[in-house]
């Protein structure tokens, strides 16, 4: 995530695991939200695919991109 952001020092990744699965929240500078989402959502879709592929068998993973307020 930090490699995609223009302000890598502002990237904060939080992970929470509960009964529903693994929830990953990525907080970035407001200028970087569009960069992480990508044109037509392609970048965030690819990031979600990688996150799901790295998860264990049958484990649910959600990825959320938020801007730092």
**Which residues have CB under 8 Å from 4's CB, separation 6+?**
32, 35, 36, 43
Q: Residue 28: which of 48, 47, 4 has the closest Cα? A: 4
**From the first residue on, what is the mean pLDDT of each consecutive set of 10 residues in the chain (69 residues)?**
91 93 94 93 94 87 90
- Quote the DSSP letter at residue 59: -
Say if strands 21-28 and 12-18 run parallel, antiparallel, or are unpaired.
antiparallel
Task: Give the pLDDT of residue 56.
Answer: 79
What's the topology of domain 8-67? GMP Synthetase; Chain A, domain 3 (3.30.300)
Task: Give the pLDDT of residue 8.
Answer: 93
SS3 category, 67: strand
Task: Give the pLDDT of residue 45.
Answer: 95
Q: Which helix (H) or strand (E) holds 13?
A: strand 12-18
The ranges assigned to domains in the chain are 8-67
Task: Give the pLDDT of residue 9.
Answer: 94
């Amino acid at each position: 995530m930090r490699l995609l952001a223009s302000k890598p020092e502002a990237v904060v990744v939080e992970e929470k695991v509960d009964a529903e699965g693994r929830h990953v929240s990525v907080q970035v500078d407001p200028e970087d939200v569009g960069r992480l989402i990508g044109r037509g959502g392609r970048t965030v879709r690819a990031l979600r695919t990688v996150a799901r592929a790295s998860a264990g068998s049958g484990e649910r993973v959600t990825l959320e991109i938020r801007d730092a307020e």
